Chains A and B, each alone.
Chain A
Amino acid sequence: MNALPAALVPAMPHLLAGDPTSSWAELATATRTVGDRLRAAGVETVLLLSTHWFTVLGHQVQCDDRLRGRRTDENWYRYDYGHLAYDVTVDTELAHRWADAIDADGMQARRTRYDGFPVDTGTVVASQLLDPRGQGRWAMVSCNLYADPSAMAAVAAAGMRAAGQLGRRLGVVAVTGLSSGLTGRWIDPGEDRVEDTHDRWNRKMLDAIRAGDREAVLAMSPQYAAAAQADSQFRAFAFLDGAGAVDRPGEVLAYGPVWGTGAAVVWWGEPTESRET
């Protein structure tokens, strides 16, 4: 594969439920498929942005070589998927290069290496589904919500440059929700649905992604953020764009609700490969 393999995957822990509803199960299966494809593409390290690792000062790059622990989610603790174990290996050589590249571009990198650092739920969920055997390596950056969304594109570009210097075979993944209209009560999973306005917006954005129309997606993002409370103003797409990953049609592997929010799995592979529906 010559094109940069890339994906957008959900952040919510419901994908790891022992007894998932059909939407959660489809999203989980599609995320596992993305993991299979990343391995098939020979990816050595995944450049990862999780919007649920949100920060406000500079761009934090995870520099701990191994993140191991348990996470009890502060909202979902009453469910099995609120209790997550993780064991993630970080490509620290790339992480440090990435931080250097961020600094070199006039932004502020924060090298993050602290015992007991609370890895966010999105990173835990995505890493478990994409890499169930824990054999992959990751380079992770936080999502600065106070910087302009376009800053995430510059951060991704810096990561690509750093990976190029090291000759890494790279994949790029953004962990994010779509619309954020969370259902504010305890529901039976079977009642899970995305409200109509948000659903229309999600589908409109996914249609533009399917068409490979990155300019339309970027142009619509502010409106999408306002109309559908898009997760982190859809900074995830800006990140993928900065990596040069979305200049071709994306393959939507799954779309559905997670507790009222919109979630999708999108894959960007070789531009000429045959597409599933």
Chain B
Amino acid sequence: MRRIYESNALRRDDEPFSPTDPDDRRWTKALAGEHRTINWDAFSHAFMPGWLRERAITVDIETSRDRYEVGEPVGFCVTMRNRFPISVKLQTRSPVLWTWAVDGLVDAAKIDRSNPTERRSVFSFGRGERKRFERTWSQTIRHSRREWVPVDPGEYTLSAAINVPNAAERGLAAETTISIE
């Protein structure tokens, strides 16, 4: 679990009643002359065209098995990889950087919360970075804020996509099919 007091999500400054920063590296950074070196990541971002940046990233989705019994939790894993030796940043539609879906329903829900705000955001990949995310689908579809309905036996498509427009066409999505019997 991320702890709020140990994270950067807590505003810290010199004002009394706001927590002090245990890790104030401003000075050491300045001493190390960090401001003088070229930021290669920003550099490559500025000069690499968007279509090339997208080619760098692969998305993959894998379930623990192909067949499940009714009611059995479906564990799956989403892997994303940057194939390039330079860092890549993709602009996403909202701070939700990626989504997963069952038969096209994001988060297996009929209420789509993947773009809660208009605010765009950035999904960053380090050089050659691989990211892995684990999820479990409970074999239910959320019909409303407070109601979930179990699905019937049959085939279901699980998918994952980076939260950009037309992710599938741009190669930033993946899907797999399972059967529930």
Decide if A and B are genuine partners: no
